[in-house]
Structure formats: structure tokens, C-alpha cells
Amino acid sequence: MLVFLHSPFLRNPLCKPLRSARSCQNIARPSVYFAEFADYLTLGSKMDEQMQDFLINSLGIFCSAEMQTLIAKVREIAGCELPAEKKTPFLAFHKFITEPQPNFISTLRADPKKEHWYHALVNGILGNVQGSFSCLLYHQERLAQTERALMVALHAHDIKGLPANGTLGLGGTSVLDFEYQAYVLAFRRCLDQLACALAAFFKNKYSSFRTLPNFLSHRKPKEVASKLAEVHATHISNFEFVLSEGGVTSVRDRIAHYEFVQAGCFNLSTRGVVLVGGGENLNLAGGVSETLTGTLQRKSNSLHQCISEMIDVFVQEVAMWEADVSQRASE
């Protein structure tokens, strides 16, 4: 059973019920890997009967009421689910590669020398990108909870004697700094892992989202590559804080290589409480007060929109490309 508990079969929340396994007809959160596992169970002569029975029995244990209760408790304590609306692009990608399975996927899976490109693409999107985006939202929520709690606590105390034209800066907010840095690193990681996954379709290794158009300009099929480059061009300007360009060091690179970047410093004055400075340069120019929560929410929404459009364009263009190849082959 340890084989299953430590295998990719159990990692991905985006999956379909395992219909062909005798021991289990209903899995609460099956994955794309379970679909592969079902294939293995139906191989018959290609699999030793003893091994087949072992796998089926092991899956039966996994699907038992006791094990499902245990798994539910583990998820309650340590799990982190994407909100339903954030799963949409990943569900769309999963549907594209399974209902029905595209020809290029079948071709990759049938060739032992090329099958790793299939895994790099599929696990890249459904495992790496989805996982890193979930991680980003986790850190964002931790930041939001901490910022809200601090605001409530600070507003609850009426500090006497504050200078009319002065400001008192408060430290001691390391948790905000830690979570902010983790958020920034997860953001960059998500983008680079998206580039890496898409590159696998072209049977290449590439992991820089910033320079992805350079890579795509030399790839075939051109109709797929060019459309992905167009989407990249519409979103790249939203990610300057994690992608260094033109001699300007991004916040991400400052965190990763050079300095301890803070989330900001709470300033108290007769006008109220506000978070100032930090990696986002909050509230330095005056005007309407910005929260760290609101600022990062906008950044996360931009990232999700980019991921969604990249996946949507990829699905549409690959489907059209495959249809065109099939039509030409039948002529």
C-alpha cells in the first residue's frame, strides 16, 4: 500500500473516477494518473496475474471506508484546495487530454523514448503549475489573515500623544515578510513551470517564461507556437515584479539573490494606520490607501488570467492543428 501512498497516482486532485477497477467504482478525488492505472489493470497478458491482483487489492484498500476517512482527516488538517472557479483552466486541460485522448498524446504514450514528454506536459500543467498556483493562493490568504488581524488590533488601541505631523513606525511583523517572500517566489515559479510544461509539447526543455517568445519563434507547429507567443505578449507587462528586465532587478530576484525584502511597515499617525513601503512600495505617493491584500489579489488574478488564456489557446490551437493534420492525411 505504501507504493500507492507515495506514488503520483494520489497527488493530483483533477481526475476522473476509475471505472475499470473491480475493487473501486467511486473515488472521491481520482486523478489523471488513475486513468493510466486503469489502463494497466486492463493490459491482461502484458501484466503478471499476481501483480495485477496485488494492484487491484491495494486499490481496494485505498478505496475502503476506513482509508477514505483517514485521507479526509489528513486533508482537513494539511490540505489546501483551489477554489472551484480557479480550477476551470486545469479542468479544461484535463478534459482535452482525456475526452477523447488527442492523437499527439497517444503517439507520445506509445513510444517509450518520447513518453517523458507526455508526462512533462501533463504533470507540468496539472501537477506543477496547479500546485504552485495553489501554493501562491495559500500564502496570499495567510498574508490577508495576518494583515486583517493586525489592522483590527491596531485600530482597537487609541494611542495618545501621537504628533500631529509625525508618524510612528511599528516593526515585529516578520510573519508578513516571510509570507510575502514565499508568495513572490511561488508566483515566479508558477510562470516558469508553465513555460516548461508548454515547451514539452514541442519536445524541448525550456523553463523561462520571460524569454518564452524567443523559444517559440523556432518551434513547430508554428500555428500553435505563434498563438502562445501572442498571449504571452498581452500579459508579460503584469509580471515585472518577478521578471527582471532592462537592467531593473525584480522583487523576486532581490529576494532570491540579494536582500531580505519586507512586506512593509505599519505606520501610525493621527490620520490612522497604514502599511507602507515593502516590496510593493505601498502608500508612498499619498492618495488612496492601498492594502497588501488588495494589491496581491490583483496580481494573483492577472496570473490566473494568463494561465487560463495560455491553456485555452493551447487547447484550441492544438485541436485545430490535429484536425488539419488528419484532413491532409485523408486526402
- Domain end marker among 79, 97, 128: 79
Instruction: Tally the domains of the chain.
Output: 2
Largest interatomic CA distance in the chain: 86
99 and 118 belong to one structural domain: yes
Query: What pTM was computed for the model?
Result: 0.84
pLDDT in tens, 195-221: 999 999 999 999 999 999 999 999 999
58 and 176 belong to one structural domain: no
152 and 251 belong to one structural domain: yes
166 and 57 belong to one structural domain: no
Secondary structure, 3-state, 247-289: CECCHHHHHHHHCCCCCCEEEEECCEEEEEECCCCECCCCCCC
66 and 206 belong to one structural domain: no
46 and 97 belong to one structural domain: no
The list of the chain residues with pLDDT below 50 reads 1-33, 35, 44-45
- Is 205:196 a contact under the CB 8 Å cutoff? yes
60 and 92 belong to one structural domain: no
Alpha-carbon gap, residue 323 to 224, rounded angstroms:
13
- Is 240:308 a contact under the CB 8 Å cutoff? no
pLDDT of residue 7: 38
144 and 243 belong to one structural domain: yes
- Is 226:157 a contact under the CB 8 Å cutoff? no
pLDDT of residue 42: 53
155 and 40 belong to one structural domain: no
Residues in the chain: 331
Q: What is the CA radius of gyration of the chain?
A: 24
C-alpha cell of 293? 491584500
Q: What angle do CA 182, 187, 188 make, to 5 degrees?
A: 105
Which residue segment(s) compose the domain that 278 sits in? 82-330
- Is 176:147 a contact under the CB 8 Å cutoff? yes
- Domain end marker among 62, 79, 96: 79
179 and 288 belong to one structural domain: yes
pLDDT of residue 23: 31
User: Taking Cα atoms as reference points, which of 205, 213, 206, 244 lies closest to residue 230?
Assistant: 213
pLDDT of residue 36: 54
- Domain end marker among 27, 54, 79: 79
98 and 10 belong to one structural domain: no
β-pair partners for 169: 267
pLDDT of residue 5: 37
pLDDT of residue 329: 84
59 and 102 belong to one structural domain: no
C-alpha cell of 29? 478525488
Secondary structure, 3-state, the chain: CHHHHCCHHHCCCCCCCCCCCCCCCCCCCCCHHHHHHHHHHCCHHHCCHHHHHHHHHHHHHHCCHHHHHHHHHHHHHHCCCCCHHHCHHHHHHHHHHHCCCCHHHHHHHHCCCCHHHHHHHHHHHHHHHHHHHHHHHHHHHHHHHHHHHHHHHHHCCCCCCCCCCCCEEECCCHHHHHHHHHHHHHHHHHHHHHHHHHHHHCCCCCCCCCCHHHHHCCCCCHHHHHHHHHHHHHHHHHHCCCCCECCECCHHHHHHHHCCCCCCEEEEECCEEEEEECCCCECCCCCCCCCHHHHHHHHHHHHHHHHHHHHHHHHHHHHHHHHHHHHHHHC
